[in-house]
Amino acid sequence: MGSWGVAPYNYTFTPDMEGVWRVYASWPGNDEYYGATSEVVNFTVLPPITMTKIYLTLPKSEVTVGDSLEVSGKLVAIINGSEVPIGGVPIIVWFFPPVGWDISQTAYTEDDGTFSLAYKPPLVGNWTISVSWGGNETHTRCSASQTFTVLEKRFPWAEVVGGSVVAVVVIILGVKVFRRKRH
């Protein structure tokens, strides 16, 4: 709203395209008053910002130390209530171990918005994984996270017990063969 003397004025304008706009108000005058023009005011119209969402999927919540964990997900834009995939952009994947340095990797989305990577966690304990996209001029940034547990590698009992039994049998047979040769 502006005012020239005692005569206030206002006008609503809706820009139809992005960019820098220059606006001023002008009045040609009449028989009683001279015309006048306001100062020029610049403003910038930005492109519309689209909301985004990222999905994170882990095949299981527990993994054994040294085993591969397949991380996957999908990046979508929310347009008119529908999910539209966003392809060809980098997704930052952070692994937060129970102790030590955080680990960062990058995956790229396919045309259908999906991404994946494999990681072998080297430490036992509770981990957090976070995936994020930084957005751009027309899309918001987004992130998601989950936790998973890395368990110690345990040898199956059958291998341990079976190996022990085989070792004992070999020793017994060796002793018997050695005794027979001595007699």
94 in a structural domain: yes
Highest-confidence segment of 5-14, 44-53, 69-78, 152-161? 69-78
Q: What digits encode the pLDDT tens for the residues 35-88?
A: 888 899 998 887 778 999 999 999 999 999 989 999 999 999 999 889 999 999
CB 127 within 8 A of CB 98: yes
Give the residue numbers spanning the domain of 71.
Answer: 52-151
Same domain, 131 and 60: yes
* Prediction pTM value: 0.64
Same domain, 141 and 56: yes
- Cα 173 to Cα 38, 162, 168, distances in angstroms: 109, 16, 9
Same domain, 40 and 56: no
183 in a structural domain: no
178 in a structural domain: no
Among candidates 34, 62, 80, 79, which has minimal Cα distance to 121? 62
Same domain, 105 and 145: yes
Q: Which of 45, 62, 79 is the last residue of a domain?
A: 45
Same domain, 26 and 102: no
Same domain, 145 and 73: yes
24 in a structural domain: yes
Same domain, 147 and 57: yes
Same domain, 63 and 98: yes
Looking at the structure of the chain, the number of domains it has is: 2
Q: What digits encode the pLDDT tens for the residues 81-117?
A: 899 999 999 999 999 999 999 999 999 999 999 999 9
Same domain, 41 and 84: no
Same domain, 147 and 74: yes
How many whole angstroms separate alpha carbon 39 and alpha carbon 23?
Answer: 8
